[in-house]
C-alpha cells in the first residue's frame, strides 16, 4: 500500500514537472495592448469581432449545415489571420503589420466579408468611419514601429 502511494506520488510529480519547452507566445486582448478611442472599439465590435476574436456571437442559423460549416471555416481562418483576443503585444512588428493590413482590408472592401455584410447590416462602415479607423490604425502602427526602433538595441530578438 505505502509503495503504491509512493509510486503514485512520484508519477504525479513527474507529470507536474515543467517541461523544457520554450514558453508559448501568448497574446492579450487588443484593448489591453493598445489604447483606442471608443469609436474604433465600436467599429471593431460591429464589423470584425465575430470572425476575428474568440468572442464570436453565433446566430441561430450557425447551427444548421451548410451555413454552420461555412461560418466555422470563416471564423477559423479569420482568427488565424488576425485575432483581436490574442493580440501580439510582445511583437510590435507583427502588431503594426496587422493594423496596416486591417486598414487596407477595409479600404479595399475585402473586409468585412460580403456575405457577412448582407446578414449584418451594422457591420458596414461608412466612408468617414473607414477613414477614422485607418487614421487610428496608421498612427498606432507608426508609433509601434518607432518605439520598437528605439528599443531594439537594448532588447534585440524580442
Ligand atoms: C465573416 C467573417 C469575417 C468578418 C466579419 C471579417 N473578416 Fe477579416 N477575414 C476573414 C477571413 C475568413 C479571412 C482570411 C482570408 C482568406 O482566407 O481569404 C480574413 C482575413 C483578414 C485579414 C488578413 C489579410 C487579408 O486581407 O486577407 C485582415 C487584416 C482582416 N481580415 C481584417 C478584417 C477587419 C478589419 C474586419 C472588420 C472590418 C474583418 N476582417 C471582418 C473573415 C472575416
Residue-wise pLDDT for 31-79, tens only, equals: 999 999 999 999 999 999 999 999 999 999 999 999 999 999 999 999 9
Given ligand 1 and candidates 105, 106, 132, 137, which is best to mutate, with the most ligand atoms within 8 Å of its CB? 105
What does the pLDDT read at residue 149? 76
Decide which of 14 and 110 is more confident.
110
User: What's the average model confidence in pLDDT over 83-108?
Assistant: 97
Cβ(84) to ligand 1 under 6 A?
A: no
pLDDT digits (tens, 9 = 90+) for 117-155: 999 999 999 999 999 999 999 999 999 999 887 665 555
Confidence of residue 6 (pLDDT cuts 50, 70, 90): low
In angstroms, the CA 127 to CA 131 distance is 6
Please report the atom of ligand 1 found closest to the CA of residue 105. 26
What are 122's three cell numbers?
Answer: 451594422
Q: Is the pLDDT of residue 158 over 60?
A: no
Residue nearest to atom 30 of ligand 1 (CA): 102
Q: Is the CB of 140 under 6 A from ligand 1?
A: no
Query: Taking 60 as the threshold, does the pLDDT of residue 9 lie above it?
Result: no
pLDDT at position 26 is: 74
Q: Under a CB-based contact definition with an 8 Å cutoff, are residues 98 and 78 in contact?
A: no
Instruction: Work out the number of other CB atoms within 10 angstroms of the CB of residue 87.
Output: 21
Asked whether the predicted pLDDT for residue 22 surpasses 70, the reply is no
The answer to whether residue 13 scores a pLDDT higher than 70 is: no
Q: How far is the CA of 47 from the centre of ligand 1 (A)?
A: 10
Distance, CA of 6 to CA of 39 (rounded, Å): 60
Distance 54 CA to ligand 1 centre (A): 14
pLDDT of 152: 59
Predicted confidence at residue 19, as pLDDT, reads: 56
Q: Using CA positions, which residue lies closest to atom 3 of ligand 1?
A: 51
Ligand 1 centroid to Cα of residue 91, in Å, is 20
Distant-in-sequence, close-in-space partners of 125: CB < 8 Å, separation ≥ 6: 43, 46, 47, 106, 133
| Of residues 18 and 48, more confidently modeled | 48
Among protein residues, the one with the nearest Cα to ligand 1's atom 2 is 51
Amino acid at each position: 500500500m505505502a509503495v503504491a502511494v509512493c509510486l503514485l506520488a512520484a508519477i504525479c510529480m513527474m507529470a507536474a514537472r515543467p517541461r523544457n519547452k520554450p514558453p508559448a507566445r501568448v497574446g492579450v486582448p487588443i484593448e489591453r495592448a493598445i489604447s483606442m478611442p471608443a469609436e474604433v472599439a465600436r467599429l471593431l465590435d460591429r464589423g470584425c469581432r465575430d470572425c476575428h476574436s474568440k468572442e464570436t456571437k453565433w446566430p441561430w442559423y450557425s447551427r444548421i449545415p451548410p451555413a454552420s460549416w461555412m461560418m466555422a471555416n470563416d471564423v477559423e481562418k479569420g482568427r488565424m489571420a488576425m485575432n483581436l483576443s490574442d493580440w501580439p503585444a510582445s511583437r510590435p512588428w507583427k502588431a503594426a503589420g496587422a493594423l496596416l493590413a486591417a486598414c487596407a482590408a477595409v479600404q479595399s472592401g475585402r473586409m468585412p466579408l460580403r456575405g457577412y455584410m448582407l446578414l449584418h447590416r451594422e457591420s458596414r462602415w461608412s466612408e468617414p468611419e473607414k477613414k477614422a479607423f485607418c487614421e487610428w490604425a496608421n498612427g498606432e502602427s507608426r508609433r509601434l514601429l518607432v518605439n520598437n526602433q528605439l528599443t531594439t538595441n537594448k532588447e534585440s530578438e524580442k
